[in-house]
Structures are given as structure tokens and as C-alpha cells.
Chains A and B, each alone.
Chain A
Amino acid sequence: MSSRCYDLIVIGAGIIGTSCADAAAAEGLRVAIVEPGPIGGGSTAAAMGHLVAMDDDPAELALTRYSLHEWELFASLPEAEFSRCGTLWVARNEAEARVIPARIARLGAAKVEAHAIDTQNLYELEPALAPGLYGGLLVPREAVVYPPRMALYLAQRAQSNGATLYAGRSASKLGHAAGTDQVLLDDGTQLSGPTLVATGCALPTLLPQLPMRARKGHLLITERYPGVLHHQLLELGYADSAHGDADSSVAFNVQPRPTGQILIGSSREFSATDSAVSPAMVRRMLERAFDFMPSLRQLQALRTWTGFRPTTPDGRPYLGAVPGQNKLWVAAGHEGLGVTTALGSARLMLDLLLGRTPAIDPAPYAPSRVIA
């Protein structure tokens, strides 16, 4: 059976796969995209869409900074629903605020503007915060976007640059371990070419040698309440929840949507594998949010849902060649930062694929780090 040849076959059309497909098609590569479900319908659709710099890992910060620069190109794109609300990290007390100078220094070194906020300033910025809080850290240039619509835009732009979308199809077999470059789809179609696997939580199906855990999260969205909330707010202890290893945790993390709706998060669970909303976890998450912003209690919720973050053992994504395979590449495992770092990840992948020197050091993301 003859196979259809491509310069790059991207498996998975979430925010990572579509970013890579778009970047490759823009470079003139002949691109195929394989996606069994809706474009951006997995973790991408469940995500909050907060473009945020986390500074506790230098490698993650480098990728984030690189990526945030790329996001600026889409700041006025209607499909991105880009809203520059800024991020305000909230400290409950002086002890929590002690990390602020170090964080400002690290963010500043990465050219991310950040300011310390005193108590009075905190309540001027967000009058609805609970009394008795101490201060915070404002990152004014950060923004929120609408990830699934952005993924769809990127997939369509790739197609307008010649990419072929194999919609409703999944990859059932890769020949790259056997030294070929064949990809067999579930309907018997045979593709061939260098292949990039960007299937997020589903990575183990095709690449079981790369450890991946799905970390469940809950989100809730309210009716429209314009003017209640102005910035994306997170508690300063958020990184402890995000990067801690506890089996389950919650953190105060709320976001004003451009419509006036409010997204309320966040939760993290490793052991929960079903996608059902857990009322107990939602209650725990909301109690945390009400501690910081009691007036949220008065608002009407529209919907709650869950999603899964693709999580690697060290919290960094796999970006690079799959060891021991012929022309097989991976871009997956961005955990909760996939939307933020998608565009930079795509640039990095394209540089690696085309044999160019990437703008940032790719070594921290090399998949070879987990394969002895």
C-alpha cells in the first residue's frame, strides 16, 4: 500500500500540536495533523488560559519568557480573546510576602515586569479581597486567552498554509522503532515522514517509555459579574500546590473573563482518574476561594468541569527527539503551563527538527533525561 509523504506528521491537535503544526506549515513544510477528537478538545478545552510566568524553575521560566513573547503577536487576534488583566499574587501575611523580593528579582532577570504591592495598594487593586491580607506581587503585563479557540485558529492557519487535517483519525501504529517512518492510522491510511507526538495525557498509548501522569483539576465558571474582579488572582503559596507532590491540593486562583464571568480554581489530584466532577473537591476549592474573596459566595455558578494536566516526573515537558527511534519527536507533558508555553515549545521543536540552534537551551526538556 502506498503511503502519503509529509515533512512532518503531528499527532494530536491540542494547543501544543496545533502550535507545532502552525509553525511547521509557516516554514513551508508539508504537514499532516492527526486528531481523533475536536481540535483543542482535551486538556486545552479544560484549561484556564492564564499566560503566567512561574519562576521557581529557571528552565521553565526561560521557556515561558520565550513563549510569552510569541503570544504578544496574538494580542489583538479576536480568536485568542486575549485580555491583559495582569496577575496579582496575594500574600496573607508578612511571612508569605518574604518571597516577593526574590521573585521580583528572578522575574526581572527574565525581563518580566513585576512590582511589590503593599496592603493599601492591594485593596485599591482588588476591593473585594477579604480583610486582613498583607500585600502582594503584581505582574501587570500577563494576560488570559481562550485556549480551544486559539487551537482551532492555529489548526486552520496551518491548513491555509497547506497542512492536511486527518480529522476523526487516530494513529494506531508507529514504525519509527523499527527504523521506518510509517504512521498507520486507524482507518488503514498510511502516512510517512518525520513524526511529532503531541498527545498530552494520552502519550503512553504511543510512547509508553516516557512516564506521564494525568493530574486532575476542577474549574468553575460564574455568571457575568463585571467589575467584581480585575486581575487574575493567585495565592502566593500557589506554587506549593502546583509543584508539591501531595496527592491532592487546592489553591486560590480566580480569573476575570473578558465577559465579566469569573473562573474559579484550582485543584490538583493524582489518584483521581475519572473525569466526573467531585462535589467534595469543588467544595474544598471554593472554601479556599471564599477565604480570600468572601463575596464570591454571593455569585451564581454556571458550570463546573474537570480536566487533566499531562505531568512528567520532573514537571518539565518532553521536547525533542525520542531516543532510539527513527525521526520520531515528542512535545508533551507541559502540565498546567501548556497554554503559556505552547508557542515557545513549537519554535523550539521547529529549530530542533530543522537542525537549527534553538533560541533557548533545549537540554532541560530532552526526553532522553527519563530514558536510561
Chain B
Amino acid sequence: MSVLYVNGQRVEVPAGASVAAAIAQVTADFRRSVSGESRAPLCGMGICFECRVSIDGVAHRRSCMTPAEDGMQVQTDSGRLDRHAP
């Protein structure tokens, strides 16, 4: 098992699972388009770029292509928006 954090929430996934699989346990709202629409993985193989999130402070990483690792801090756009909401 790997233990990581999605928008601050503790998530467990089997070893070898993608970060996208971990995020899916928390939210379907991976990123926001420039006009604010909710986006989520479409292809699951690194082509569509719709699964991009911030991982350990690095923005625009494709979560479907990134294996989950212990202690990762993952931030989705929705998590960021919610946290900053008034």
C-alpha cells in the first residue's frame, strides 16, 4: 500500500497505483479549465492532459502517468478553490 494526501485528505492505494486512482477516491474534479469548468481524466494514458494536478508543489503533472508514492501531497484545482473560498 501507498499512503498519500489529496487536498490534505489521507488516501491509501495499492502499490503501483497511479496518483489519478488516489485522487478518484476523493474527488472527480481534477482540474479547472480556463473558463472554470470541472475536468477529469479522459484518456488515462498521458495524452489528453485533463488529469493534471499539483504534486509536491509542482503544477501541471499528469496524475494518470505518475505512480503514487508514500507521503505525496497532491492538490487539485477544486481543492485549491474550496480552500480559498470565502
Question: A-side interface residues toward B, CB under 8 Å?
Answer: 223-225, 259, 298, 300
Of the candidates A224, A225, A298, A300, the one whose C-beta lies within 8 Å of that of B34 is A224
Query: 8 A-B residue contacts at CB 8 Å?
Result: A223-B59, A223-B60, A224-B34, A224-B60, A225-B59, A259-B34, A298-B58, A300-B60
**Complex contacts, A298 vs chain B, CB 8 Å:** 58
User: Which residues does chain A contribute within 8 Å of B60, judged by CB atoms?
Assistant: 223-224, 300
Residues of B within 8 A of A300 (CB): 60
CA–CA, A300 and B49, complex, Å: 12
| A300 vs B34: C-alpha distance when bound (angstroms) | 16
CA of A1 to CA of B58 in the docked complex: distance in angstroms?
66
B 46-63 contacts with A by CB, 8 A? 58-60
Distance in Å: Cβ of A128 to nearest Cβ of chain B = 14
Of chain A, the residue at the smallest CB distance from B80 is A226
A295 CB to nearest chain B CB (Å): 11
Q: Whole-angstrom distance from the CB of B32 to the nearest CB of chain A? A: 10
In angstroms, Cα B59 to Cα A298, docked, is 9
Nearest chain A CB to B7's CB is how many angstroms away? Answer: 17
Closest to A223 in B: B60
CA of A248 to CA of B13, assembled, Å: 54
Specify the chain B residue showing the minimal Cβ separation from A222: B60
Q: Mark B10-53, 1 if CB is under 8 A from A, else 0.
A: 00000000000000000000000010000000000000000000
Query: Which 8 A-B residue pairs are closest in the complex by CB-CB distance?
Result: A223-B60, A259-B34, A300-B60, A225-B59, A224-B34, A298-B58, A223-B59, A224-B60
CB closest chain-B residue, reference A258? B34
Min CB distance A157 to B, Å, is 24
A42 nearest CB across to chain B (Å): 25
Q: Provide the residues of chain B in CB contact with A225, threshold 8 Å.
A: 59
Sample of 5 more A-B contacts, CB < 8 Å, known A224-B34, A298-B58, A300-B60: A223-B59, A223-B60, A224-B60, A225-B59, A259-B34
Shortest beta-carbon distance from B39 to chain A in Å: 12
Kindly state the separation between the CA atoms of A225 and B61 in the bound complex, as whole angstroms.
12
Task: Give the chain A neighbours of B59 by CB distance below 8 A.
Answer: 223, 225
> Which B residues are in CB contact (< 8 Å) with A223?
59-60
Q: How far is the CA of A298 from the CA of B60 in the complex (A)?
A: 11
Q: Which residues of A contact B58 (CB under 8 A)?
A: 298
Distance to closest chain B CB from A298 (angstroms): 7
Q: How far is the CB of A252 from chain B (nearest CB, A)?
A: 22
Task: Tell me the complex Cα distance, A196–B4, Å.
Answer: 65
- Shortest Cβ distance from A192 into chain B, in angstroms? 46
Q: Once the chains are docked, how many angstroms separate the CA of A259 from the CA of B34?
A: 7
Chain B: CB-nearest residue to A300: B60
In Å, the complex CA distance between A261 and B58 comes to: 15
Q: What are the residues of chain A within 8 A of B34 when measuring CB–CB?
A: 224, 259
Convert B57-83 into 0s and 1s, putting 1 for each residue whose CB lies closer than 8 angstroms to a CB of A. Answer: 011100000000000000000000000
User: Nearest Cβ in chain A — how far from B63, in angstroms?
Assistant: 15
A25, B9: Cα distance in complex, Å? 60
CA distance A259 to B36 in the complex (A): 11
